[in-house]
Homo-oligomer: A and B are copies of this chain.
């Protein structure tokens, strides 16, 4: 109890304590994530197959499942120092409000202009693109966090940045577009008429509000049909989880400093970038048999890839121009119901996390959006921070776990990832404030068209 008193509301590491290497959890996995396949030949993709799409150094990181640590280049470290360390926060006020004996911590990644953890990988990917001498990069963005992060990173390295933004988010978040434009990016609502794959999707699904899968197809086409451009992605890929390990490494350093060991680690999961990054060093200990942790992925009930998807090879995009990845997936043809607000709308899940989940090393739960916004508002009022709807999925389950502790009297230590802020999600909050937010759990029939789009293997 004496020691508890000494833990500040916010733990900031010193600049000298920041991680100097990323941690690659694949190195400690016995069952490695399955390789990416060529959709035509069904053969594993090699370095030279991927370099027309991705930057060379990033392909190396993508394919390397044995090197445990990668040095973070100085240029990236210097940029990290402009907005990191992110604080590890002790949720004293939330604990008090819940009347729980649980000790709740959250790693808050929202204190940068992109408003989320996405910047951790954006700056790395932009750096390698610049190092390769490229003119620019293309990408997709859903809720807008990744696109904003990438536009900031490209401004730093003076790269052109073309963003395809999922149409529903483009319309719900006009201000996101302006932030990206302020950083010099061009932003196109997806699906669009600017690509062949976009035109095709619009013909087949007129009036579609878009999906991350569509936007990926368009961004890949835009990159591969232009000289000096490559495509970059903000989640799902192994390289992204590698960069995002900085979240977990900082979290672990901060907890170790105060002698705290978590019992439960919770993160929201769309493509897996935040969750994979947060849990990586803890999962490493678990894989090496050094420690055990309860790890929980939280996903929206309206896009339930872990909890209702299939563990299968699938296209990473709707237009089926991308490689096949083995993952928990709802099928590349899946589009979330229109009432779903914001991010966490990707049809698949990181191959790394999919394998770990398949091997029973982590759990997953799905939650409905009204209860998510209820948790978001409660958290905002007691902890001060207005969370992104995505992050609020983790808050919901952290609160639920803390309330279980109130019942049992257990003093569990709960750590969750607060990936970002909700300042650009006020249309969704307005719906909730006006009592107009709805829930929808897809039926098995709703999910079937997605599964029908799975490639025959």
Contacts and interface: CB of A to CB of B under 8 A. Distances in A.
Interface stretch (A178-186, A208-216, A264-272, A447-455): A178-186
Interface string A129-164: 000000000000000000000001001100000000
Interface stretch (A53-61, A312-320, A375-383): A375-383
B81 A386 contact: no
Contacts of A357: none
Given A8-B14, A12-B12, A182-B386, 10 more contacts: A10-B82, A83-B384, A93-B156, A111-B111, A113-B380, A113-B384, A155-B380, A175-B424, A178-B433, A423-B423
A421 B113 contact: yes
A255 B440 CA distance: 54
A426 interface: yes
A429 B183 CA distance: 11
A94 B14 CA distance: 22
B112 A426 contact: no
Given A112-B384, A384-B83, A423 B175 contact: yes
Interface in A402-457: 421, 423-424, 426-427, 429-430, 433
Contacts of A155: 380-382
6 contacts: A9-B78, A82-B89, A82-B383, A82-B384, A175-B424, A184-B381
A427 B427 CA distance: 15
A15 interface: yes
Nearest to A184: B381
B423 A380 contact: no
A122 to B, nearest CB: 11
Contact of A81 (B9, B14, B81, B183): B9
A160 to B, nearest CB: 14
A282 to B, nearest CB: 25
Contact of A93 (B82, B113, B182): B82
A182 B8 contact: no
A183 B386 CA distance: 9
**4 closest residue pairs by CB, A with B:** A175-B426, A8-B15, A9-B81, A178-B426
Contacts of A50: none
Contacts of A89: 82
Interface string A20-36: 00000000000000000
Contact of A182 (B111, B152, B380, B427): B380
Nearest to A421: B113
Nearest to A430: B178
Interface in A69-104: 78, 81-83, 89, 93
A385 interface: yes
A146 to B, nearest CB: 16
B384 A152 contact: yes
A337 B424 CA distance: 28
Contacts of A83: 384
Contacts of A152: 384
A373 to B, nearest CB: 9
Contacts of A429: 178-179, 182
A81 B423 CA distance: 22
Interface in A214-240: none
B385 A113 contact: yes
Nearest to A386: B113
Interface in A324-347: none
Contacts of A183: 380-381
A10 B81 contact: yes
Given A15-B10, A386-B113, A182 B82 contact: no
Nearest to A433: B181
